[in-house]
Amino acid sequence: MRSEDIAKLAGVSRSTVSRVINNYSNVPEATRAKVLQVIEQYQYEPNSFARALAGKRTDTIGLFAISMNEKENATRIYQNSYFAPIVDLVVDTANARGFYVLIHTVYSPGDFQKIKQAFLQKRIDGGILVGTQKDIELVRELVSQEAPLVLIDYDISEIMAERLNKNHLAVINSMDYEGTVEAIEYLIQLGHREIGIIKGRMNTFSGRERNMAYENTLQKHGLPLVEDFILEGDFLKETAYREAARLALGGKLPTALFSSNDDMAISAMEAFSEHGISVPDQLSIIGFDDVQLAARISPKLTSVKLPIDDMAKAAVEKVIGLCNAEEPTFSTVSFPARLVIRDSCKPAGN
């Protein structure tokens, strides 16, 4: 069934059928009704490729998760507590707005080609990019394509600043710096003076922000950065577990630990528990992200809530906006990240 068939059946031309489908105003109600009736009756659906080829939009947006340079088992990206909610909200929000979403994961530069293709082949109207920015070069390539693009968790200053206003581009971030400050000051207020950190991946905007806020806040309050209490991490639980175990065996413990995300905080708690270190009695812990699991473990984890839902929703609204925009626009939004206090912290020294 093609528009031609509908036209014949309704006794009009293909042009008119097209006008009805596209909701043009210059069609008399009677004609419109007749055409719609036939369309309805035959369950006609215009071929999306023909429409797109003739200049219409694809009504599809891309969601691309970059996961390069991670361990082999990083294959489980969508089970990750960071990506899963993004997929969730992006799909739902886009669907609700009448868009399909095309998903592709980037594990290798080859995969990255596929997402460039998705744009070049005009499979999508616009895309959302989320992931580490280690491969910022590739991201820049994408930006330079000038297609509607939204970046989640990227450092604006690193993205071809000179071109920013020539693009249909938006960047969505969370206020990780402020959230971390709130967490560290909460600990300080509880009397902690020896505060450690499990760092996140440094090729990530949020990883750097959280670390910088940690360092700056300690310094601001005249507290020392003690090397033994600074654990290298990569946002993954395995590393955090190993590092926490090492700390536990090292003998000297901080009285509080800020973990750059919940996954690592929870693994560290497991490690401490196995080494007979009690949280929060001997060691207070704060995580970041506030994943579902945070409130389900014992003790319940105090954590900085990442506004991931808001970010994902905003990302979709932004791409759609960018797809509709005539002029190139660049914009950036940051959503606040607030501390959620639960049971994993105690006043120091008792």
Partner DNA sequence: CTGAAAGCGCTTACAG
The first and second tokens of residue 220, run together, are 């601001």
What is the C-alpha separation between 10 and 1, in angstroms, rounded?
Answer: 13
For DNA, the binding residue among 55, 98, 110, 222 (CB under 7 A) is: 55
Selection from 165, 158, 198, 162 nearest residue 180 by Cα: 198
Other beta carbons less than 10 A from residue 299's beta carbon = 16
117 binds DNA (CB under 7 A): no
DSSP annotation of 293 reads G
In angstroms, how far apart are the furthest CA atoms of the chain?
87
58 binds DNA (CB under 7 A): no
Question: Where do runs of H (alpha helix) occur along the chain?
Answer: 3-10, 14-21, 29-42, 48-53, 83-96, 109-120, 136-143, 176-189, 205-220, 237-250, 262-274, 308-324
For DNA, the binding residue among 51, 104, 242, 338 (CB under 7 A) is: 51
Give the nearer residue to a copy of itself in terms of CB position, either 57 or 193: 57
For a copy of itself, the binding residue among 5, 92, 185, 310 (CB under 8 A) is: 92
For DNA, the binding residue among 33, 41, 42, 50 (CB under 7 A) is: 50
User: Does residue 311 sit in helix, strand or coil?
Assistant: helix
39 binds DNA (CB under 7 A): no
In the complex, least distance from residue 25 CB atom to DNA, rounded to whole angstroms: 7
- 220 has which bridge partners? none
Selection from 156, 101, 95, 143 nearest residue 125 by Cα: 101
For a copy of itself, the binding residue among 35, 101, 147, 231 (CB under 8 A) is: 101
126 binds a copy of itself (CB under 8 A): no
270 binds a copy of itself (CB under 8 A): yes
Give the nearer residue to DNA in terms of CB position, either 21 or 159: 21
Tokens 């001997």, located at residue? 282
Binding segment (CB under 7 A) for DNA, from list 47-55, 73-81, 141-149, 274-282: 47-55
For a copy of itself, the binding residue among 87, 286, 294, 339 (CB under 8 A) is: 87
What is the C-alpha separation between 201 and 39, in angstroms, rounded?
Answer: 54
Which residue ranges make up the site for DNA (CB under 7 A)?
A: 1-4, 12-19, 21-22, 26-28, 31, 44, 46-47, 50-51, 53-56
Q: Which residues bind to a copy of itself, rule: CB under 8 A?
A: 43, 45-50, 52-53, 58, 60, 75-79, 81, 84-85, 87-88, 91-92, 95, 100-105, 111, 114, 117-118, 120-123, 266, 270, 292-293, 296-297
